[in-house]
């Protein structure tokens, strides 16, 4: 994440930088978004069986541009079908 991403998330969530991301200065500079133990995004939330981004207005640039590669479009399309968000019967 960029500095702008982390600043926007801190302002929006009122969480500390360590609660939002982690840094691996040995590999790459900057911060990486925290994930839940099950691999989901920390900010993925569900309500009544529907999933949504709880920080959508402040989401990082990477999330804003997702999906942008063909493999990501394929995964998104498969998930939309699995979730029943489109009707394939017509």
Tokens coding 8: 């926007």
Write down the pTM of the prediction.
Answer: 0.67
Rounded (10°) CA dihedral 75, 13, 42, 16: 130
Residue 89 confidence (pLDDT): 55
> pLDDT tens across 33-85, in order?
888 888 788 888 888 877 788 998 998 888 887 766 777 667 666 666 665 65
Cα–Cα distance for residue pair 71/21, rounded to 1 Å: 25
Cis peptide before 23 (omega within 30 of 0): no
Contact 53, 63 (CB under 8 A): yes
């Amino acid at each position: 994440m960029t500095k702008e991403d982390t600043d926007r998330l801190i302002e929006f969530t009122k969480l500390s930088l360590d609660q939002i991301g982690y840094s691996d200065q040995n590999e790459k500079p900057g911060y990486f978004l925290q994930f839940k133990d099950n691999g989901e995004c920390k900010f993925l939330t569900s309500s009544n069986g529907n999933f949504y981004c709880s920080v959508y207005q402040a989401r990082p640039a990477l999330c804003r541009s997702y999906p942008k590669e063909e493999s990501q479009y394929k995964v998104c399309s498969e998930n939309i079908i699995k979730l029943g968000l489109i009707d394939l019967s017509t």
